[in-house]
Chain A
Amino acid sequence: AQKVTQAQTEISVVEKEDVTLDCVYETRDTTYYLFWYKQPPSGELVFLIRRNSFDEQNEISGRYSWNFQKSTSSFNFTITASQVVDSAVYFCALRINQAGTALIFGKGTTLSVSS
């Protein structure tokens, strides 16, 4: 069975602090895909990144960076110099390599950035 665990329910930081959101996944498949989404208060899901299981390179996109480590089954997300606009719920998700399968979401981490 597949599972995604986001142990941090809520995180509060002050602007300009760095923050890391943890994601641990479980799957027996050797090929799979990991995602991060942002859900602002309006509710829509904003796609942030997709990673396949064969690509362990870390990625940086502006203030966002992702650390994928298969050895620990983790796909952590770091926001550098956080801003108030980063306040949202962040979801980590997993998909196995089978056509027509849905994303399995973690429970999400609510990030609150205060000024």
Chain B
Amino acid sequence: GAVVSQHPSRVICKSGTSVKIECRSLDFQATTMFWYRQFPKKSLMLMATSNEGSKATYEQGVEKDKFLINHASLTLSTLTVTSAHPEDSSFYICSATGRGTGTAYGYTFGSGTRLTVV
């Protein structure tokens, strides 16, 4: 079935540094990638939607200059948290849909990245 590989699974970084999270679709073409953020014991909040080759569409309240999303190819999308601060600590998870996806009606989730900013 469809698989999305998300790396890293955990990352600790210092305040002020940038962190890049990658999501790769391993056996299908991810035409659309969704990025979610999840606070502890909270729901998944959609941050942005990106279509391959286009600029990402951000949800209201999400700073696009802080959360840079790149979706330059059909198999790779990245989320870069720039100048990270402790309040950016969270669980980030990607979800891809596109051509050749599996049984979950085209929504394949990565395994998530737990970001801790110290």
A35 and B95 alpha carbons, distance in the complex (Å)? 14
Give residues 95-114 of B contacting A (CB, 8 Å). Answer: 95, 97, 103-105, 107, 109, 111-112, 114
Chain B residue with the shortest CB-CB distance to A49? B104
CB contacts (< 8 Å) of B111 on chain A: these are: 42-44
State which size class the interface on B falls in.
20 to 34
Q: How many residues of A contact B (CB 8 A)?
A: 19
Nearest chain A CB to B26's CB is how many angstroms away? 15
Interfacial chain B residues near A85, Cβ < 8 Å: none
Q: Does the CB pair B51–A100 fall under 8 Å?
A: yes
- When distances are taken between beta carbons in the complex, the residues of chain B under 8 Å from A108 are 42-43
Interface string of A72-109 (1 = CB under 8 A from B): 00000000000000000001000100001011111110
Besides the contacts A43-B111, A45-B109, A91-B43, what 13 more A-B pairs have beta carbons closer than 8 Å? A33-B105, A43-B93, A43-B112, A43-B114, A44-B112, A45-B112, A100-B51, A102-B34, A102-B95, A103-B95, A104-B46, A105-B44, A107-B42
Interfacial residues, chain A to chain B (CB-CB below 8 A) = 33, 35, 42-45, 47, 50, 91, 95, 100, 102-108, 110
